[in-house]
A and B are shown apart, each in its own frame.
Chain A
Amino acid sequence: MIRVTCLRIAVALAMAFCGHAQSTSQPTLYTFRHPAMGTEFALYLYANDEASARPIADEAFDEVDRIEQELSNYRPSSELSRINQQAAAAPVTTDPETFGFLEVAQHWSETSGGAFDMTVGPLMKVWGFFDHSGRIPSQTELDRVRASVGYRNVQLDAATRTVHFRAAGVELDPGGIGKGFAVDAVVRILHAHHIQAALISAGSSTLYALGSPPGQRGWRVVVPGVGDDKQGISTVWLHDTSLSSANCNEKHFTVDGHLYCHIMDPRTLRPVEGRVHVSIIDPSATTSDALSNVLFVDTPAESEAFLQRYAPEARALIVSGNAAAPRCSTYRWQEPVDATHCPALSSQGR
C-alpha cells in the first residue's frame, strides 16, 4: 500500500508540473490580519476567491511567526536569544538564514558608522523601552552598558557560520530590521504563488507593495502629517517595492515636557533628538527597515551622503524639527510634499 501511495504521488507530480493556469475571472481584494512581532501584520491580497486566498495568507503568517520565533529577543526560545545568551562565552554556530540576517545587519551598521546598530539591546532596556515603561537612566547605568553597545562587539565568521561577542553583556535587538526581514520573506511566498497584486504591512511601519491593484498605477501609501496635522504631507504609489517609516508617535515617553523617542543613537547612548519622521522606499524591505533608522539618527545632510554612496536607488522623505515646526527634506522623492504643513528644510538646517 505504501509503495502504491508514494508512486501515485510521483506520477501525479509529473502530470501536474506543466505550467500555471491563467484565470480569467476578476480578482477580489481579501484582507487578512495577524498579530506578530509586537504589532499587527496585514495582508491585502487579490485572488479569485477566499478559498484560494486564505491558505496563502496562512502560509505567509506562518512564515512571519517562524521568523519571529527565530529572531525575537522577547522570546527566550528564539535563535537570537540563544545567541544573546551564549555568544559572549564562545562562538555560536547558527543556521544560514540567521547568519545571513546578521550579516545584513552588520553591513548596515558598518556602512552607517553605527547609526544603525543591532547591539542597542541593553540601551533599550536601561531606557525602559524593552518593557514599555520608559525612564531616564542614570549616568551610572549608561556607563555600565557603554562597553556592551556597539556593532564592533559582534564578530561574524562566515567560514564557520559563527557569532561571537567580543564583550560581555552584548544583546542583539532586531527591532530596527526584523519586520523588514519578515516582510521580504512574505513577498517570496507571494511570488511563489504567482500573486499579481498584494500589499503586506508590518504594523504599517514596513510594507511591501507587490504589483498594483487592478486599474491602479500602484498601491497608495500616505505619509502622515505631524502632530495635530491630520492631512498627509505626501502620497506615493508603490509598485514592486517597499516603504519603511520611523517616527516617535507611538513609542516614547515625556518627562518635564520633553519627549524621549524610542529610537536610539547608539553612538550617544541617548534617544534621537530633532527628527520627527522618516519614510524610505527601497526594493528590499529589509534594507528600507534598517535604513529608516539610519535616516532617523543621522542629519539629513549625512543621510543624503549615505544614500548616494550605499543605496542610490532609494527614495526618502525626512521630517526634522518638531511637531510644532516640522521641516521636510527629500532624497529622490518623486511625489509632491505638502510645503504648507512641512516647509522644506533650508540647506543651513541640513
Chain B
Amino acid sequence: MDRRTFTKVASLSALSASSMARAVAPAVKPLRLGVIGGGSRGQEVMRQFLHLPGVSVRAVADIYPPRQAEVERLTGAPVRFMADYKTLLAMDDLDAILIASPLACHAEHMIAAAKRGLPIYGEKAMGFHPQECQQIVDAVVSNKTLFQVGHQYRYASWAQESYRRIRAGQIGKPTHIYAYWHRNGNWRRPVPANDPTGYLEHLINWRLYRETSGGLVTELGSHHLDMANWIFGEVPSSVLGTSSICRYHDGRTVGDNTLATFNYSEGRKLFFSSITDNAKNGNELWVYGDEGSVQITMEDATFYYEKSKRSAPIAPSGQTVVQHGIVTGSSYSTAGEMPYRGEGERIGTQAYEDSTLTAVRSFVEAVHGEHPVQADVYVGYGSSIASAVAHEAVFTEEKAAIPALKTT
C-alpha cells in the first residue's frame, strides 16, 4: 500500500469514529450475518456485531458441534448451524460474511466467500502462507468484493488521534517502534477427555502447532505489524527473528516466546516481543521519534516528549560564573540516563468504545454504502504477508525478504 492510500484510510477512519458520523446515520437497516468459525474470537466479534441495531446472526458454519450451543447462547435464539461452510455460502438470505475460522483455513474460506460476492469481515491474520495472502487479494479484487480485515486497533479513537499527532510531527520523525504482547499463560484451551488420537487437541489448540498456527508473531504480532505499517506508511521489506520453547514443554511446535525485527525503508524498524510467562508489559506499542514517544495500548495512548535539545539563551546571570568560577568535580550524572518516570499526556479516555465494536460498526456502514472500507484487503495483506514470512523466519533465524504485493 502506498502513502496516499494510507492517508485516505486515516481520514476515513476519523470520520467513521466521530459521533457526528453516527448522529447523521440513516434509519436502521437490517444486516443478516453468516459466520464461518464460531470459536472464541468468532463469538466475540459476533457479540460486538449484535451491539448494532439491525444486525442479526442468521447462520454459523463450524466443524466443532459444541459451538452450536455456545453460539445460540450468545445470540439468544436458534441459529442455523452447519458443518460445511459451502452450505452457508449457498444461502440466499445473507448480507455479509464474518470469517473467524482457524488461520490455516482463512484462504480457503475467504477466497470462496469472495467468489460468492458477499461483503466479508475477515479476521486477522488474513492469510497463513505467503502465497495465500496474494491469492486472497486477487480473489477479493477480481470479484470486487467488499472486504474488511479484523485489525480493530486502528479504528480505536486513541489510535486515530495518535496517528494524527504522529503525522503532524508531534514526536518528530518516527523511526523505531517497540511492540510487546506479553502474557502469563500457556495459551492452551481445554480439550475433551476422549481424544486418543490427539485430533481434538489439534483442532482446539491449533494455535500451538506449526502446521496450523502462525505462532505468536502472527496470532498476536499481526496487530502491531498493522499499526507499524500504518504509522510508517509501508510494508516492511524483511524480517529477522528467533523463537524457542522455554516454559511450556507440552508437545507444542510453535514457540512460547518470540522476538522479531521488521525492517522498513530508511532504516526504520519494528521490534516485536512476545513471551508467555510474564505479563508485566502486557500489550503495548511504543513509537519513538527524535522529539517524543507515544505508548499505545488496548485502552488508551500516552504521549511523552524528549527534553529540548536546543540550548537556552545565555542569561545575564552567567556573569556569576565568570566572577566566581565553578567547582570542579565528577562530570557524570545519572539523571540524563534514567528512564523517564513522570506523567505523560494521556489521550483517548473520553467517549471510550471497544475497538472491535468501532470496527464492526464501520464495516456495517461500509456495507450500507456510507463510506469505503478502511482496513481493506491491502491493509490485510501488509500485516499478513509480513507475519507469514516472519513465522518461518523465527524458525530459520535467518533474514527473510518480505514480498511486495503483485498488482495486475
Is B95 on the interface with A (CB-CB < 8 A)? no
Q: From the candidates B105, B191, B200, name the one contacting A13 in the complex (CB within 8 A).
A: B200
Does A59 reach chain B (CB closer than 8 Å)? yes
Q: Which residue of B lies closest to A1 (CB)?
A: B129
**Is A21 within 8 A of B194, CB to CB?**
yes
A30 CB–B CB distance under 8 Å: no
Which chain A residues lie closer than 8 Å to B211 at the CB level? 5
CB pair A9 B74 closer than 8 Å: no
Cβ-neighbour of B191 out of A55, A100, A161 (below 8 A): A55
- A79 contact set on B, CB distance < 8 A: 51, 354
Which residues 68-88 of A have a CB within 8 angstroms of B?
76-77, 79, 81-82, 85
| CB within 8 Å for A6 and B192 given contacts A96-B50, A97-B47, A100-B76 | no
Binary contact readout B174-210 vs A (1 if CB under 8 angstroms, 0 otherwise): 0000000000011011111111010110110000000
Q: How many whole Å from B84's CB to the nearest CB in chain A?
A: 9
Determine which of A18, A19, A51, A93 lies in contact with B51 in the assembled complex, contact meaning CB atoms within 8 Å.
A93
Q: Check B78 for interface membership: any CB of A closer than 8 A.
A: no
Across the interface, do A77 and B299 meet the contact criterion of CB distance under 8 Å? Answer: yes
B65 CB to closest chain A CB, in angstroms? 7
- The answer to whether A59 touches B51 (Cβ under 8 A) is no
A161 and B77 CA atoms in complex are apart in Å by 13
Across the interface, do A160 and B53 meet the contact criterion of CB distance under 8 Å? yes
CA of A55 to CA of B207, assembled, Å: 14
Q: What is the 8 Å Cβ interface bit string for chain B, positions 279-302, against chain A (1 contact, 0 not)? A: 000000000000000000001000
One of B47, B107, B351 near A2 (C-beta < 8 A) = B107
A95 near B47 (CB under 8 angstroms)?
A: yes
Asked whether A97 and B351 contact (CB < 8 A) given A9-B63, A192-B66, the answer is no
State which residues 191-241 of B face A: CB under 8 Å: 191-195, 197, 199-200, 202-203, 211-212
Chain A residues numbered 290-318 whose CB sits less than 8 Å from any CB in chain B:
none
* Interface core residue of B185, B189, B199, B351 (most chain A CB under 10 Å): B199
Q: Which residue of A is nearest B101, CB measured?
A: A6
Q: Are B352 and A18 in contact (CB under 8 A)?
A: no
* Chain A residues with CB under 8 A of B185: 58
Q: Is A77 a contact of B107 with CB atoms below 8 Å?
A: no
Inter-chain contacts of B351 with A (CB < 8 A):
85
Q: Which residues of A contact B132 (CB under 8 A)?
A: 2
* C-alpha spacing A12/B199, complex, angstroms: 5
**CB 8 Å contact bits of A262-283 with B (1 = contact, 0 = none):** 0000000000000000000000
Is A9 in contact with B188, judged by CB distance below 8 angstroms? no
Q: Counting chain A CB atoms within 10 Å of each CB, which of B47, B105, B190 scores highest?
A: B190
The size of the chain B interface, using a CB distance under 8 A, is 49
* Nearest CB in chain A: distance from B363 CB, A: 16
CA–CA, A312 and B120, complex, Å = 50
B83 contacts the other chain (Cβ, under 8 Å)? yes
Q: In the complex, are the beta carbons of A55 and B189 less than 8 A apart?
A: yes
Q: Check: A255 CB closer than 8 A to any chain B CB.
A: no
Q: Does A129 contact B (CB under 8 A)?
A: no
Inter-chain contacts of B66 with A (CB < 8 A)? 192
- Decide: A6 and B105 in contact? CB cutoff 8 A: yes
A258 located at the interface, meaning its Cβ lies under 8 Å from any Cβ of chain B in the complex: no
Contact partners of B104 in chain A: CB under 8 A: 2, 5-6
Interface centre among B132, B211, B354, B357 (most CB of A within 10 A): B354
A10 within 8 A of partner (CB)? yes
Query: When chains A and B are docked, how far (Å) is the Cα of A160 from the Cα of B299?
Result: 29
Which parts of A13-64 form the interface with B (CB within 8 Å)? 13, 15-21, 23, 51-52, 54-56, 58-59
Specify which chain A residues have a CB less than 8 angstroms from the CB of B108 in the assembled complex: 2-3, 6
In the assembled complex, the Cα of A15 lies from the Cα of B192 at a distance in Å of 13
Contact between A77 and B354 (Cβ–Cβ < 8 Å)? Answer: yes
Say yes or no: is B8 at the interface (Cβ < 8 Å to chain A).
no
Tell me whether A13 and B199 are in contact (CB under 8 A).
yes
Q: Is there a chain B Cβ closer than 8 Å to A204's Cβ?
A: no
Inside 8 A of A230's CB, which chain B residues have their CB?
none
CB B132 to nearest CB in A, in angstroms, measures 7
Contact with A along B229-261 (1 / 0, CB 8 A): 000000000000000000000100000000000
Closest chain B residue to A91, Cβ basis:
B53
**Complexed CA–CA distance, A95 and B55 (Å):** 10
Closest chain-A Cβ to B134's Cβ sits at a distance in Å of: 14
Question: What are the residues of chain B within 8 A of A9 when measuring CB–CB?
Answer: 63, 199, 202-203
The answer for the CA separation of A19 and B186 in the assembled complex, in Å, is 27
Please determine whether A194 and B193 come into contact, CB atoms closer than 8 angstroms. yes
Is B128 located at the chain interface by the 8 A CB criterion? Answer: yes
Please determine whether B190 and A55 come into contact, CB atoms closer than 8 angstroms: yes
Which A residue's beta carbon lies closest to that of B84? Answer: A10
**B64 in the interface (beta carbon within 8 A):** yes
CB neighbours of A161 from chain B (8 A): 50
- CB pair B190–A56 under 8 Å, yes or no, is yes
Cα separation A100 to B75 with both chains bound (whole Å): 11
Complex interface: chain B residues within 8 A of A85 (CB): 351
| B306: Cβ under 8 A from any A Cβ | no
Residues of A within 8 A of B203 (CB): 9, 12-13
Name the A residues within 8 Å of B74 (CB-CB): 95-97
Contact B193 A15 (CB under 8 A): no
A residues within 8 A CB of B349?
A: 76
**Chain B residues within 8 Å of A76, by CB:** 299, 349, 352
Q: Does B116 contact A (CB under 8 A)?
A: no
The residue in A21, A55, A160, A194 that gathers the most chain B C-beta atoms within 10 A of its C-beta is A55
Interface residues of B in 333-373 (CB under 8 A from A): 349, 351-354, 357
B73 within 8 Å of A (CB atoms):
yes
The answer to whether A58 and B352 touch (CB under 8 A), given A16-B199, A96-B76, is no
- A133–B83 CA distance with the chains assembled, in angstroms: 54
Which residues in chain B, 32-72, are within 8 Å of chain A measured between CB atoms? Answer: 44, 47-48, 50-53, 63-66
- Which of B48, B83, B202 sits near A10, CB closer than 8 Å? B83
- Chain B CB within 10 Å — which of A6, A59, A94, A99 has the most? A6
Contacts of B199 in A (CB 8 A): 9, 12-13, 15-16
Chain B residues in 8 Å Cβ range of A54: 186, 188
From A1, A16, A99, B192 is in contact (CB under 8 Å) with A16
Contact of A81 among B128, B197, B352 (CB under 8 A): B352
Indicate whether A99 sits within 8 Å of B129 (C-beta atoms), given known contacts A6-B108, A18-B194, A55-B188: no
User: With contacts A23-B193, A96-B77 known, what are 10 further pairs, Cβ within 8 A?
Assistant: A10-B63, A13-B64, A13-B203, A19-B194, A20-B193, A55-B191, A81-B352, A95-B50, A96-B75, A97-B47
Task: Give the top 9 A-B pairs by smallest Cβ distance, nearest first.
Answer: A96-B76, A12-B199, A55-B190, A76-B352, A95-B50, A21-B194, A93-B53, A2-B108, A56-B190
Interface CB pairs A-B, < 8 A, 5: A5-B211, A54-B186, A55-B191, A100-B76, A193-B192
Which B residues are closer than 8 A to A by beta carbons? 44, 47-48, 50-53, 63-66, 73-77, 83, 104-105, 107-108, 128-129, 132, 185-186, 188-195, 197, 199-200, 202-203, 211-212, 250, 299, 349, 351-354, 357
